[in-house]
A and B are shown apart, each in its own frame.
Chain A
Amino acid sequence: MKFENIKIENFRNFEKIDLDLSNKNIFFGLNDVGKTNFLYALRYVFDKDVRRLNLLDSDFHNKNFVKPIEITVTLDISDTACTDCQKLRAQLKGALLSEHEKVYIRLKAEYDRHEMLALPILYWGGDLEHLQEMKQRGYLYELDYVFNVIYIDSYVDLHALFKKNVNALVKNESEDDKDILNRIQGTVDSLNTHIASLSGIKDFEEKIAPEYKKFRNEGVTVSIKSEIAVKGLYSNIIPYIKQDGDDNLYPTAGEGRKKLLAYSIYDLLSGENAEKKINLFLIEEPENHLHKSMQIALSQILFTDSKYTYLFVSTHSPFVLYEMDNVNLIRIYSERKIKSASTFYKVPGNFEKSRKMLNRSLSEAIFADKVLLVEGPSEQLLFEKILATVKPFYEADGIYILSAGGIGFEAYFAILDALKIHNVLKTDNDLRLDKKTGTYSVLGFSRCNKYIGEKILPVKRVSENTVEAKRKLYDDNKKTLDEVRDKYYIYLSKSDLENDLDEVLHDVLVKYLGDDPVEYLQDAKHYRMVELIEQLSNADCRKIYNHYNFACLKEVAE
């Protein structure tokens, strides 16, 4: 079974949204753009406990009661050997005919002015034009016999969760247990006898009854008992953690531990159901209370454990995405109205080995609104310094500088484009020697053409490889290159970072770095860039920021 699509209309902050889904989905975006509401849309369809709350006036987008709320989920069930598809078929019955390979599940709710609420009605079937109303028994729909929603809030209350499910989790049903339970009862009785014989307890019991009788004179006595005797065995058991090689018990007090234990409990609970039903995991901001390393561990589990086949996670944390693969990235963002964009992300084949590196930079970048893609750490260092000076809050404004670690930009901008994250690319005007002819191919130009997907810039080889030659090449094609900047947000260096910088601030660089600053910088790029930026003044930064050579900064910052 595969999740394909969701359409949400007139629900909370979504006027109309149409989004491709996959089986693992990550929702991200700024606060208040509707990530939680997105999960709510799914929960209204699949979670009986949410659905039975009905929909209120505030659930209608801008309180538009003229239109119904409609949420439609599309599932692909063409794989007849898949047991999850079979679970659905077994309930769909004649709503699914031989030619159908997809199931549409729709929730529709019309506002009732007298009742001041909207009752959700569910439909499903293989023919979108003729969906069948789902049969209902009490507040359960046929759908509820197929799906089991495991919703994990960002603040899980471990003890409440354990208490609520203790009967499902702890089953003392063997023959021996009967005996042991009887013995426990005996122990509890004698515990209470002991408690009752304590002098302090007796004293208290004797004193309290007359006090009580002052308020109300009735034939009562007060006695002190252990809670276990009154509320039963299960009222009194709670999980503790014992470390290997240490006999002490530690309460599960730390929020991080509580959270991990809670996840483990959800694991067990979902296992109980997995063969009968389809478990859908809806997880809200799992990163809360977890240390970075735990978030990364969680990321590993979420993206590799087969238990989480159907996963919908909202997050603000790049660490949760470190292990992402075969996942649908869904960005919810706001322009005039709430929009969304999504893309399926599979770690590209040529990145299998450097997957972590790709994922790490990418997981940071997708939380931004604008991304400046640069080749290496020198650019990153310099540009961060400049932006920090000119636009001190650039990060808060959603600007992120991503170093591609070379020129493998495609893996990044393909995802960023698909997520409609504005990205600006800064790359060098490289030339490369062709040994056979002794001429130089215009590597930087070809790269631009490749990214644009069209041969806009000439690719005729040049005979010389000098800074001057590069600058000449640039100047000869400046009109086109300016168009490339405006239209495609690709900013080619006139030559390279150091020479372009030298053009802007030659005198200053000489003062800071000696007579040949370009050579000095290029000698140990990363290290010397650190040395330089420590010395750059605010005025220097502004000058760079305003210069043609570094207009890419203005492009992302303004």
Chain B
Amino acid sequence: MSLSPIQEKIIEIPGNLIVRASAGTGKTHTMVNKIAKEIDDNHSHKVVAAITFTIKAAQEIKDRLSVDVIHHFIGTNNSFVIEEIIKPFMKDVYGSDFGLDMSTDYSEKVQTYQEGVEKIKTEGVLCSYQDNKKNFIFDLAQEIVEKSAACKLYLQAKYSKIYIDEYQDCDKSMHKFFMYLCDELKIDTFVVGDEKQSIYIWRGAYPEAFKGIWNKPNFERRFMGDNFRSCPQIQNYSNLLCEETRELYEATENLDSIVWLTPTTTNWAAEVVSQIDDGKKTALLRFSNDNARIGADELTAAGIEHIYIPQIPIADITTDTAWLYSAIAKYIIIEKYSAYDLISEIPVEGNESRKMVSAIKKFLNDIALSKDDEQAFCSNTNDLAGYLGYVTRPDHLAKLYRTVSEESFHVAFEPDKYQHVAITFHSSKGLEFDQVVVFAGDYRLSDMASIYNHYVSVTRAKSKLVIVKLNDYNANCFQTNLSRLFSESGVNIGDVVSFQ
């Protein structure tokens, strides 16, 4: 894929840089190209860190980079601070008691910082705060990096640049930490994000951080507004939602791409089916899993089969072993997923030479053969985990068994295989569909969080957006607030959507 002029520019700009990238503007593509170029241009011993919010996004960057990335850090923000700061340097600040093996389990909760530290000392477990808007891991990393001279020198000696994706999802602690690396340790920082796509405010994400960097004097700033995904009308609709993109609005004559339905709770599915093209990829995006599941059934009953992509039981596991449960499930469920794929997902740390491919194949084979016998399955899984140096828990093994044994979960592993799906909009991030169906009642648009959620949902659509407005309180709020937002630009809802 080639680069647009603004993407070219972004790749060339040296030093600290912040990029605001609206949905569909080729953010990941640009970042991957920038990383590749800067790795190639670098002649020193230093490496880069590419930091993402999800393992999936990190894996995607790894897959897309064609250069050798073995010495560079590509991983999630938590793994960055755990592997690069907490595990190696906690002992430098807190004493040799903390040179112990550590594992993570964010389902373990503490009230205070001190309790968190104590838990590491006594159990070797990195946990999280009861208050999900606060971030123990990053508070701890901050403390260590400020107090450990060795840690500072290490980071400065190792990293030439840090790339952070989806910056709008950073919470206050993360922001403080990353800015410390940039401003105090003088490590070049590249930040990309879009506060409009901030859908994690409920768990502490702090879009103000992104805006803060935008105004920092030591950062160059660029805006990527050319949405390559959505058609002009859908771009107009999404740009009108937020103040900073309003001026991008350009009236279009044809309003067929966004359809506003006002059906009843009983006939909505039939109306939606009449609006969408069976031959194109479609997604029903809902706030809750229940509504997504029910919606799929109703649309199917109305004539176009929709597959509900459920939340899988193992999704909420937050220990170090989480990747292994997911990999084992993929090995069993996805036909083309082999032992080699699993090996490629082993987190970078550790002595790989110890792990024999043939042994792993044998373990996986035993697990697959025992998939009808829960006890044998769990025991075989436990053996593989032990071989790889990971610890399992009985409740997690049970979740894994449920994930692989209940077929309804299997669709979640290959959502791309299905033409029409129903999912929550939280899990739609990073995906795109020709046609998207949203429910007005899922977004009251009364606060920024709700506006951002709506922005993310509608920008998943390439060529068609269907808005279902039932006659309920939330949906009416939606309509009122939408008119208000659009009127800021002197636009009526009817100028952008066609009412049916």
**Hey, which bits of chain A sit against chain B, CB under 8 A?**
80, 83, 85-87, 89-90, 92-98, 100, 135-138, 145-146, 275-277
| Interface residues contributed by chain B, number (CB under 8 Å) | 26
Taken together as a complex, chains A and B put the C-alpha atoms of A147 and B151 apart, in Å, by 22
Whether A100 lies near B150 (C-beta < 8 A) is: yes
A and B contact pairs by CB, cutoff 8 A, 19 listed? A80-B153, A83-B44, A85-B157, A86-B157, A89-B157, A90-B45, A90-B154, A94-B89, A94-B154, A96-B154, A97-B150, A98-B150, A136-B353, A137-B353, A138-B352, A138-B353, A145-B71, A275-B43, A276-B44
Residues on B with beta carbons closer than 8 Å to the beta carbon of A135: 350-351
In addition to A86-B157, A137-B352, A277-B45, 12 A-B residue pairs with Cβ atoms within 8 Å of each other are A86-B156, A93-B84, A93-B154, A94-B88, A94-B89, A94-B92, A94-B150, A98-B149, A135-B350, A137-B353, A275-B44, A275-B45
- Residue numbers in B under 8 Å from A95 (CB-CB): 88
Q: Is B91 an interface residue (CB 8 A)?
A: yes
Residues of chain A within 8 A of B46, CB atoms compared:
90
Show the binding face of B for A, using Cβ within 8 Å.
Answer: 43-47, 70-71, 84, 87-89, 91-92, 148-151, 153-154, 156-158, 350-353
Given contacts A93-B154, A97-B150, A100-B150, contact A86 B88 (CB under 8 A): no
Closest B residue by C-beta to A86? B157
Cα distance A275–B46 when bound, in Å?
A: 9
Instruction: Give Cα A100–Cα B153 distance, bound, in whole angstroms.
Output: 12
- Given A89-B157, A145-B71, decide whether A94 and B45 contact each other with a Cβ distance below 8 A: no
Min CB–CB distance B355 → chain A (angstroms) = 11
- With known contacts A97-B92, A136-B353, A145-B71, A89–B154 Cβ distance under 8 A: yes
Whether A89 contacts B153 by the Cβ 8 Å rule is yes
Cβ of A86: which chain B residues have Cβ within 8 Å of it?
45, 153, 156-157
> Contact: B43 with A89, CB < 8 Å?
no
Complex Cα spacing A135 to B88, Å: 14
Option from B70, B89, B157 in Cβ contact (under 8 Å) with A90: B157
Min CB distance B256 to A, Å, is 48
Residues of B within 8 A of A85 (CB): 157
Residues of B within 8 A of A83 (CB): 44-45
Nearest chain B CB to A362 CB, angstrom units: 38
In the complex, which residues of chain B have a beta carbon less than 8 angstroms from the beta carbon of A145? 71
| Separation of A90 and B70 alpha carbons in the complex (Å) | 14
Identity of the chain A residue whose Cβ is nearest the Cβ of B90 in the assembled complex: A94
CB proximity of A269 to chain B, nearest CB, Å: 15
Cα distance A135–B354 in the bound complex, in angstroms: 11
Nearest CB of chain B from residue A189's CB, rounded to whole Å: 34
Contact status B43-A90, CB under 8 Å: no
A272 nearest CB across to chain B (Å): 10
B47 surroundings in chain A (CB, below 8 A): 90
Whether B92 lies near A98 (C-beta < 8 A) is: yes
Residues of chain B within 8 A of A138, CB atoms compared: 352-353
Q: Give bound CA distance, A137 to B350, whole Å.
A: 9
In the assembly, what is the distance between CA of A137 and CA of B44, in Å?
22
Residues of A within 8 A of B156 (CB): 86
A276 contact set on B, CB distance < 8 A: 43-45
Q: Smallest Cβ distance from B389 to chain A, in angstroms?
A: 13
How distant is the Cα of A145 from the Cα of B72 in the complex, in angstroms?
A: 12
Question: Which B residues are CB-close (under 8 A) to A98?
Answer: 92, 148-151
- Closest 3 pairs between A and B when the two form their complex, measured CB to CB: A94-B88, A86-B157, A90-B158
Q: What residues of chain A lie closer than 8 Å to B353, measured between beta carbons?
A: 136-138
Cα–Cα distance between A277 and B87 once the two chains are bound (Å): 26
**A-chain residues with CB within 8 Å of residue B149 when the two chains form the complex:** 98
Separation of A90 and B158 alpha carbons in the complex (Å): 4
Chain A residue nearest in CB terms to B158: A90
Min CB gap A6→B, angstroms? 24
Shortest C-beta distance, B75 to chain A (Å), equals 15
Chain A residues with CB under 8 A of B89: 94, 97
How far apart sit A138 and B70, CA to CA, in the bound complex (Å)? 13
Q: Tell me, in angstroms, the Cα distance from A276 to B47 when the chains sit together.
A: 10
Measured CB to CB, the closest approach of chain A to B89, in angstroms, equals 5
In angstroms, Cα B91 to Cα A100, docked, is 13
